[in-house]
Amino acid sequence: MRKFLIIFGLMTIVFFITSCSDSKSGKPKKEWTVLIYMNGDNSLSDSINPDINQMEASQFDEEKMNIIVQADYNNFASDPRPCIYNIKNDEDNSTISSPKIKSLSEVDSGDWSVVANFINWGMKEYPAEKYAVILWSHGNGWMPKNDRFSSFFPDSVTHNHISIVDGDYHNLFNSLKNKVDVLILDACNMQTIENLSELSPKVDFVVGSEQTIPDTGFPYDDVFRDWSNLDNPRDFAISASEDYYNSYFPGGSQNYQGDNFTISISAVDMSKFQEFRSDFMDFLETNQANISTESFLSARENSVEFNDLQWDIDIVEFLHNLKNEVDNQNINSQIDSLITLSNELFISAKSYDYFTYYVGQATICFPKTKEDYEYLIERYEKLEIAKDTYWTQFLRNILN
């Protein structure tokens, strides 16, 4: 009997240990793991360490969260070698005290598979109930790099970038072994309908801006401090977007001088995205013959323009403007239904220093002229939104 009790006790201890840790990594399974890829192998290199110091200063709950950063500096940095940090709390804003758990040889941060490998490694090495991913670098919506505009996640050594039109963005997330509960895009102009269309079902919530993001990026001290008190991915996404907005509002943590930053930020519930996009496209296909071309173009002309070429407009503002152009109760009722659905899709949407209340959600590419569209068409029609929706046919009809 005594021997049986000893064996039973040992089995209980083993069960307890294995239930509290991941069998592959041996590390305890925490509630959250946050994986941040900081691609500063470009003009943003000097912004990496200040943001890491913000993370250390957040006083996040280390028992609850892992925060793992892969940082890629440019060749002009004092130490240009890429490395991986395990972020720990620290109040010294002048130096990084978090342990450097890996030093790497030169990496191609413009290669989507390199970014995916880091995320998959982090998910395996630091198991958690839920995962957040932050992609930190330059961005420019869906547009590929050429002589007229920049790109997403550029690497100055390899001259590579994550090409959304070539499927890199989709491939990155489709290759992940685990679901991403919250994705934050700390890069300019990335909250677009085109980019959201490329994401796989593995992403639940997306936080990003349809506008330029200042070099100071997200206020990571505020974000991680607030996240320590939250459990729900939806609340995570809303909190991050509100922290961003508040930090740049006059008098905020990143705008002490009270300057007027033109900012926008939104959090997207991806479970509502396909429904909204489908209903929006069905509305256009059904009503294009019932609404004059002049009304569509006027609604577009009265919309705020975004991105390098100023050809992107906020999809929700466009709906509000179109409603003002149309004198048909049935059509206006359909537009109201789309706007209501957009409120379920964009669970947080904030903007400041615009002349309209309706921006702050996500943009869609709507060039001004036929010539503009013809300049884009070869690249744009490689996107999923062009292959699977009515949008490109709508643009051809309107701009012709």
pLDDT profile of the chain (400 residues), mean per 10: 44 43 71 98 96 96 97 93 96 92 94 98 97 97 72 93 95 96 97 96 97 95 94 97 96 89 95 98 96 96 90 96 96 98 98 90 95 89 95 94
- How many beta carbons lie within 10 A of that of residue 47, not counting itself? 17
pLDDT at 49: 96
Residues 6+ apart with CB under 8 A from 15: none
Instruction: Report the alpha-carbon angle 120-121-125, nearest 5.
Output: 120
Residue 268 near residue 196 (C-beta atoms within 8 A): yes
Cα 400 from Cα 396, distance rounded (Å): 6
pLDDT at 129: 97
pLDDT at 9: 47
Identity of the amino acid at 198: E
| Strand ranges (E), the chain | 30-39, 65-72, 83-86, 100-103, 128-136, 180-186, 203-208, 263-269, 305-306, 312-314, 346-352, 363-365
First to last CA, the chain: 88
Identity of the amino acid at 177: K
- The structure tokens 């390899």 sit at 158
Cα 139 from Cα 162, distance rounded (Å): 10
- Helix 370-380 to helix 391-399 angle, to the nearest 10 degrees? 160
pLDDT at 14: 42
Residue 17 near residue 114 (C-beta atoms within 8 A): no
Residues listed for the chain:
400
DSSP state of 366: -
Token pair listed for 273: 């995205």
Sheet containing 305-306: which strands, arranged edge to edge? Answer: 305-306, 312-314, 363-365
pLDDT at 24: 65
pLDDT at 67: 98
Q: Cα-atom radius of gyration of the chain, to the nearest Å? A: 23
Identity of the amino acid at 346: F
Indicate where the chain has its CATH 3.40.50.11970 domain(s): 30-271
pLDDT at 148: 52
pLDDT at 23: 45
- Phi, psi of 261, deg, nearest 5: -85, 130
Residue 322 near residue 299 (C-beta atoms within 8 A): yes
pLDDT at 198: 97
DSSP state of 110: T
pLDDT at 137: 97
30-271 CATH, one of 2.70.150.10, 3.40.50.2300, 3.40.50.11970, 1.10.10.10: 3.40.50.11970
Residue 66 near residue 33 (C-beta atoms within 8 A): yes
